[in-house]
Structure 1
Amino acid sequence: MTHKILIDTDPGIDDAMAIFYAALHPEIEIVGMTSVFGNVTTEIAARNAIVLAERAGQEIPVAKGAGKPLVQTPNPVSDYVHGAEGFGDMPAQDTTARPVDEPAHEFICRLINENPSEITLCPIGPLTNIALALRHDPTIAEKVKSVVIMGGGLERGNVSAYAEANIWNDPHAADEVFSAHWPLTMVGLDVTTQVVCDKPDFAAIAKASPKLGGFLNEAVQYYVNFYETHHGISGSQMHDPTAVIAITDPQYFTIENHALEVIVDGDRIGQTIRSTDPSRPKHKVPMGVDIDGVKRRFLTMFETGS
């Protein structure tokens, strides 16, 4: 079974993990990527997405997306987590390809319309482009195969006690996306914080896969140092790759079904909560995870030696 996925991304170190995992997976075809602000600016995100595609040896069209949230004032980029250029201490890298001449939200709509019931939309950054795509063509909700998001969390936050970073960066967009009637899975902090890879894990994939694993191993040192300093965790929480693994390996997750909404102002801005609004659809929310299964799935994908 081939999964055609369209990744909306703000690379980002764990974005790089997710994209390399998808590029290596024999049952995944990355049909496109779109960039969004968050870990870096949308311009850097577009460049970084192309860097990752080219390093993986794939020609993947990349469309540049929104540079700011729908409503709120933009938060600063997360350079203290991911580094100034998005990949830790690694300098900016040039690319052969350039972004396509099409806005991300139109690119998303076009690919879904050209491949009805075939595209899995996988946003692993703020949801601005996804909300704009729904506004541009609401019929994509009926034509997409599924939407699998890395974001949110019903029991915890990471940029505040309440909010997860992707939702916090554009809560209004996230609330629009969660209100849409489409087959959506929210892979949030409830499960992604439980899956942790440490420095020896990344050293092992660098040895097995010098080109891709080596890149991740170099970039992740900065990321792990952030987790050690700020969270007391000796390793990297595997947020974005866990969302991609949920597409191909749902058996690793315990799913609940909840209507969702996002708090868009006040002290709890960006918090994802269970909604009591009867007009809202119920979405899949993984609340339990086979930690060893997900971690093993990620690490063994790099044993090809690429």
Structure 2
Amino acid sequence: MKKKPLIISTDPGIDDIAAMTISLFAKKLDVRMIVPTWGNVALEYTLQNTLNLEQFLHTKVPVVVGANQPLVAPMISAAAVHGQTGIAGFDFEQANDDLVKPGLAATLMANEIENSPAKVTLLGIGPLTDFALLLKQYPAVKQNIEQIVIMGGNIGRGNHSPLAEYNIAGDPEAAQVVFHSGLPIKVAPLEIGNKAHLTPEQMQQVKECGSVGKMLYSLFSHIHEPDGDPRIKIFDPTAVGILLHPKMYTMKRAHVEIELRGQFTYGASVIDFMDQGNANSEIATDVDLAQFAKWFINSIKTAEQGRE
């Protein structure tokens, strides 16, 4: 089986930890590089969280230090949801920086892509700052990028502001660069994460998946929905699901623009399903919940086996 070469841009973050865990042990993926960026919390925390996770999982994928702020927008924070360090709910052993590869993220990503025999997929599960810098500084790499898969954006209401989803609102200018790249783009928007939940009973199954399951159970148990819903909503792993198990999703082509000027709509994803002539993305509009839950739990079992 040929594995898909993958570069992950991430801002861990509880659900980022789950998405990385699944990706690192997925039999169809070859994770070449992880680029922690600012996002849910500051870069100093997302970098350390990435290193701590790899130490916990016994993996050795190179880590490249990403952007510490957005291109233009003021920095925002989701520490209220994820905790000050981004991973409230589980105490990882502090890792050293042996896996950190020195150099600028855009340059190191460009080198990896240019030298890859197979086209590389980019997975964006945080603000898209580093991918925007890559595409602007090294546009020639586009010829060796297979696709960009994103968890971000929203068809309807947002979770950062009434009309903007957090990952896109974090760096709207970067998102606009990515959506205008001309590359194939697939998107798991906010609505898919809202739907792709796990019940308390299914979370108990996750907990029973050894050390990895207990770690994720502890992290996700820290999240409490404002409406008191006991189900756990799964966001970033939905993008990994598009890569690994696309038949779980209903995908629709759309033309996507990011609002950059609106006083009350800055960072909003304008997803137009009617403008098929200018479609630049495929948007997940539905997910088979039973299949998703089964896939998620089985993926954690696979990670536990791989860790051992």
* TM-score, normalisation: structure 1: 0.92
Among 236, 245, 261, the residue aligned to 1:240: 236
CA spacing shift, 1:128–1:48, aligned 2, 3 Å: same
Structure 1 residue 157: deviation in Å? 1.2
SS in 1 for 2:255: strand
The one-letter code matched in structure 1 to 2:180 is S
SS in 2 for 1:274: strand
Structure 1 residue 278: deviation in Å? 9.7
In the TM superposition, structure 1's runs of 4+ consecutive aligned residues that sit over 6 Å from their partners are 276-279
Cα distance in 2 between the residues matched to 1:283 and 1:109? 23
CA spacing shift, 1:278–1:218, aligned 2, 3 Å: closer
The one-letter code matched in structure 2 to 1:249 is H
Cα distance in 1 between the residues matched to 2:283 and 2:242? 11
Q: Which residue of 2 aligns with 1:197?
A: 198
Q: Which residue of 2 aligns with 1:35?
A: 36
Structure 1 residue 302: deviation in Å? 2.4
Residues 168, 267 of structure 2: 8 Å contact kept: yes
Residues 181, 281 of structure 1: 8 Å contact kept: no
The one-letter code matched in structure 2 to 1:108 is M
Structure 1 residue 136: deviation in Å? 1.1
Cα distance in 2 between the residues matched to 1:167 and 1:125? 8
SS in 1 for 2:39: coil
The one-letter code matched in structure 2 to 1:288 is D
Q: Which residue of 1 aligns with 2:160?
A: 159
Structure 1 residue 85: deviation in Å? 1.3
Cα distance in 2 between the residues matched to 1:287 and 1:160? 21
The one-letter code matched in structure 2 to 1:273 is V
SS in 2 for 1:193: helix
SS in 1 for 2:195: coil
* CA-to-aligned-CA distance 1:53-79 (integer Å, 9 cap, x gap): 22222101011111111111112x211
The one-letter code matched in structure 2 to 1:166 is N
SS in 2 for 1:159: coil
Among 244, 261, 264, the residue aligned to 1:267: 264
Cα distance in 2 between the residues matched to 1:287 and 1:250? 12
Gaps of 5+ in 2: none
Q: Which of 164-173 and 184-193 deviates more?
A: 184-193
Q: Which residue of 2 aligns with 1:257?
A: 253
Identical columns (%): 26
The one-letter code matched in structure 1 to 2:103 is E
Cα distance in 2 between the residues matched to 1:20 and 1:252? 20
Cα distance in 2 between the residues matched to 1:89 and 1:214? 11
Q: Which of 261-270 and 20-29 deviates more?
A: 20-29
* CA-to-aligned-CA distance 1:178-223 (integer Å, 9 cap, x gap): 01100111111132210012343233222222x2111111111211
Among 289, 296, 301, the residue aligned to 1:303: 301
What are the residue-to-residue correspondences of 1:12-31 with 2, within 5 Å? 12-31=13-32
Aligned residues: 300
SS in 2 for 1:61: coil
Cα distance in 2 between the residues matched to 1:49 and 1:279? 40
Alignment root-mean-square deviation, CA: 2.0
Structure 1 residue 98: deviation in Å? 4.4
Cα distance in 1 between the residues matched to 2:165 and 2:180? 18
The one-letter code matched in structure 2 to 1:295 is A
Cα distance in 2 between the residues matched to 1:231 and 1:140? 44
Cα distance in 1 between the residues matched to 2:268 and 2:234? 20
Q: Which residue of 1 aligns with 2:291?
A: 293
* TM-score, normalisation: structure 2: 0.91
Residues 18, 241 of structure 1: 8 Å contact kept: yes
Structure 1 residue 91: deviation in Å? 4.5
The one-letter code matched in structure 2 to 1:269 is Y
